[in-house]
Structure 1
Amino acid sequence: MADLVFCEPTELYNILNQVTKLSRLTEPNYLCLLDVRSKREYDESHVITALRVKKKGNEYLIPESVDLECVKYCVVYDNTTSSMEMSVNTNEDNNDDDTDDLVLGAAVEYGKILTQFTRSPVYILKGGYECFSGLYHFFRTQKIIWMPQELDAFQPYPIEIIPGKIFLGNFTQACDPKVQKDLKIKAHVNVSMETGPFFAGDRDKLLHIQIEDTPESNISPFFRHLCHFIGIHLHLGSVILIFSTRGISRSCAAIIAFLMHHKEETLKRSWAYVKKCKNNMCPNRGLVAQLSDWEKIVLGDSITNIFEPMY
């Protein structure tokens, strides 16, 4: 039987926004997102690609359109569940004080059923739809059926590294006004040769590190300024987008360098954290070597062996 675990809203947001060449939502066995709220609530709005869970009598039905055994992420949500424990359901129609019942949240109840059919863990969205839709209103929809070509055309958002504070993306996302507005972006760290349309000429809101994505490029002289720039904006409460051309090499190296400095942690630990957030990150070997040198500066010693797997 598979495990039942909580999924933070940020985790689901990042699951929805993973890419290879196209959005990973196009992969049939990537994500099964299940909504156990009422039909009325589901029809009013739900998270994109979510399927409504149906009932026969008082029993939940298993979706026939999904091979649960092969699904990488199976995520269930209701309205507000934030605990795996029983909660009190007060029967207000009965005057007897002894009729209160202990009940599981609908998502947890259904999730327990699904663990019998999956190999991977079943995730329960912490805080449910109310919490997720409050944070990411732009992922609400009334659309029920998604055609393959619509998923092909789906434009992912930048990955969230520090919830509500730091996002990691590509140049296209950095040029998209809707992305800037939806995520409330107030500052950019541009680690590419291209010049973006936002914050141009404003040194307080734009740090432009102009380097090529080659093993010979030297990013290390910018690490201290990078950490200072991001640190100031975190203190001011600004939301920061760090990006490069494709968002998988230079920008990833930049955020890893910041996390190592900000949290005083090893390259291996920071690498693993960013890799978990962004599955396809892949800094080139020259950047990795410079991150190893940065670890020695930050921690006083080289701890991570970059010639061994770091995740």
Structure 2
Amino acid sequence: MAEIRMCESFELFNLLNQCSCVSRLAEINYLCLIDAREPQDYKMSHIITAKNAKMDSESTFLLPEAVEVDSMQHVVVYDSNTSVLHGQDRAVECAQELAKASLCPVHIVRGSFQRFSALYPFLSTEKIIYTIMELENLKTYPVEITAGQLYMGDEKLCMDSSIPKDLKVCAVISISDNNTLESIKGNQTITNIPVADSVVSDLYSSLERICSLIGSHINMASRVLIVSRHGRSRCSAVTIAFVMHHLKYTLEEAWKYVLKCNPNVRPNTGFLQQLSDWELHTMGTKVTDISGPHFY
């Protein structure tokens, strides 16, 4: 039987917004998202792509039809407002049935639909059935690094003005060798840090300024979006540096934290070495061995 754990709303948000060329929600074995509320509540509004859990005549939750739970990478359940693992909440009872078949941990969203829909109303829907093409073309958002504070993504995400608006982003920090975003009209302040995605580029000398800038926005309750052209190398290096600075994480801890938010990110080897130097600066010593295979 798989373990049952709680997860935060922003963790589900990040799962819903993973993307390679298209949304990962189009992958049949990627995410099993189950709404354990009453059918009438589900039909009124639910989290995008969620399936409503059905019960048998003895009020026992059934495994979802046409879904191979044991092959799923992620299994997530929510009800109306469950926040603990103990008790007879619908999400807990449903998770217990899913855990019998799942090979990975089953997660229950803390605060469930009530909290998630309040934080991300734009990810609630009445739509029940999707074609593969519709799933591939779902709008994706930047991943959320620290809840309600910091986001990370690629430049294209800023081209759609509704995305920063939905996330209430007030400041965009662009790590780029051009000023692509300068012409974009919006209510966000845009700061461009001119750094090319090259192993010989100097990012280190800008990290103090960037971390201070992000921190000042967050202290004023302003949300920040960090972007680079592809959202893979430069913005992830800056995000890792900020997590090290803000949360006092080692390089390895910050690396794993950001990788959990978006498994596709990879700072280039030059930036990795500069992050190692940044660890020395922030912690007074180099704790992390960057020669390990998980850094490449």
Checking the alignment, whether the CA contact within 8 Å between 1:174 and 1:241 is kept in structure 2 is no
Q: Determine whether 1:262 maps to 2:246.
A: yes
CA distance in 2, matches of 1:184, 1:165: 10
Give unmatched runs, 5+ long, in structure 2.
none
CA distance in 1, matches of 2:6, 2:248: 27
* Deviations 1:53-77, CA, capped at 9 Å, x for gaps: 1122223221121001100111111
CA 1:253–1:31 in structure 2 vs 1: closer, same or farther (change >3 Å)? Answer: same
Q: How many residues align?
A: 292
Q: Which residue of 2 aligns with 1:24?
A: 24
CA distance in 2, matches of 1:22, 1:295: 34
CA drift of 1:41 comes to 0.7
Paired letter, 1:8: E
**Counterparts of 1:1-311 in structure 2 under 5 Å?**
1-57=1-57, 58-86=59-87, 104-192=88-176, 193-196=178-181, 197-198=183-184, 205-310=189-294
- Bigger drift between 125-134 and 258-267 goes to 258-267
CA distance in 2, matches of 1:115, 1:308: 33
* Deviations 1:70-97, CA, capped at 9 Å, x for gaps: 00111111101111122xxxxxxxxxxx
Checking the alignment, whether the CA contact within 8 Å between 1:271 and 1:310 is kept in structure 2 is no
CA distance in 2, matches of 1:194, 1:151: 32
* Deviations 1:257-282, CA, capped at 9 Å, x for gaps: 11212223211111111011111011
Checking the alignment, whether the CA contact within 8 Å between 2:54 and 2:61 is kept in structure 1 is yes
Give the alignment's TM-score, normalised by structure 2. Answer: 0.95
Checking the alignment, whether the CA contact within 8 Å between 1:10 and 1:160 is kept in structure 2 is yes
CA drift of 1:199 comes to 7.1
Paired letter, 1:84: L
Paired letter, 1:69: D
Checking the alignment, whether the CA contact within 8 Å between 2:241 and 2:275 is kept in structure 1 is yes
* Deviations 1:152-174, CA, capped at 9 Å, x for gaps: 11121000001001000110112
CA drift of 1:198 comes to 4.4
CA distance in 2, matches of 1:162, 1:214: 27
* Deviations 1:16-59, CA, capped at 9 Å, x for gaps: 01122221111110001111111111111100100111122223
CA distance in 2, matches of 1:284, 1:41: 47
Paired letter, 2:71: C
- Same amino acid, percent of matched pairs: 39
The 3-state SS of whatever aligns with 1:110 is helix
* Deviations 1:153-211, CA, capped at 9 Å, x for gaps: 112100000100100011011222100110001001100124214479x9x93321112
CA distance in 1, matches of 2:251, 2:56: 52
Larger Cα-atom Rg: 1
The 3-state SS of whatever aligns with 2:127 is coil
Paired letter, 2:72: V
The 3-state SS of whatever aligns with 2:286 is coil
Checking the alignment, whether the CA contact within 8 Å between 2:173 and 2:190 is kept in structure 1 is yes
Q: Which residue of 2 aligns with 1:90?
A: none
Paired letter, 2:249: E
Checking the alignment, whether the CA contact within 8 Å between 1:34 and 1:51 is kept in structure 2 is yes
CA drift of 1:301 comes to 1.6
